[in-house]
A and B are shown apart, each in its own frame.
Chain A
Amino acid sequence: GNSVTQMEGPVTLSEEAFLTINCTYTATGYPSLFWYVQYPGEGLQLLLKATKADDKGSNKGFEATYRKETTSFHLEKGSVQVSDSAVYFCALGDAKQGAQKLVFGQGTRLTINP
């Protein structure tokens, strides 16, 4: 079945540091890929998405490129801020698996220190 593996956390960085959170996936078809973010006390929010190979999703300074050859969708940001502290989830959706459900990774907790 489909699965998503994320880099284990927690990750702690200083403000303005470069961020990479690794995400790899296993899927039988050609899934859509997503990053969701969960800020403290809030619900999951869609951060960015990519629907086919080589697509780059971007939002709020974050980027991720759909790499079919390495089955990866790593999240990057050039200069993080304290307000980026949150839990980040990589997810995939594959219509061949029936319902358009999302399959999530376990999440990576990110803390940015001033």
Chain B
Amino acid sequence: DTGVSQNPRHKITKRGQNVTFRCDPISEHNRLYWYRQTLGQGPEFLTYFQNEAQLEKSRLLSDRFSAERPKGSFSTLEIQRTEQGDSAMYLCASSSGTVNPYEQYFGPGTRLTVT
């Protein structure tokens, strides 16, 4: 069990560019979550997958954001036409459906800076 991994760890991009982040959950976990954390705040929920199905999206997830989990394993989060307000830490977490689903295990995050 290697834990949740995220790539890249840091991303600097210019406003208007597209970026894609990857999350690899703990292998036996069927639930996967994306959160966003800005400086001095707690993480805020973005979206949730159970296996390959995206079951809920936050209002924070504008049309420029899209997330996929094509085979129920890794997930990608894409941001199109990035804006400076998108600068944040993007966190991925996973959990097992057979244990308390709120017992979520977090990755180290991808820090996005939009210049």
Q: Which residues of A are in contact with B by a Cβ distance under 8 Å?
A: 4, 32, 34, 36, 42-46, 49, 51, 89, 91, 93, 95, 98-107
Task: Tell whether B91 is near chain A: CB-to-CB under 8 Å.
Answer: yes
Q: Which residues of B contact A (CB under 8 A)?
A: 4, 31, 33, 35, 40-45, 48, 55-56, 91, 93, 95, 100-109
A102-B46 Cα distance, complex, nearest whole Å: 11
Given contacts A32-B102, A46-B103, A49-B103, contact A106 B91 (CB under 8 A): no
Q: Is A44 a contact partner of B106 (Cβ separation < 8 A)?
A: yes
Closest chain A residue to B55 by CB distance? Answer: A99
B43 touches A45 (CB 8 A): no
Q: List 9 A-B contacts (CB under 8 A).
A: A43-B107, A46-B105, A93-B101, A93-B102, A100-B95, A101-B48, A102-B33, A103-B45, A106-B42
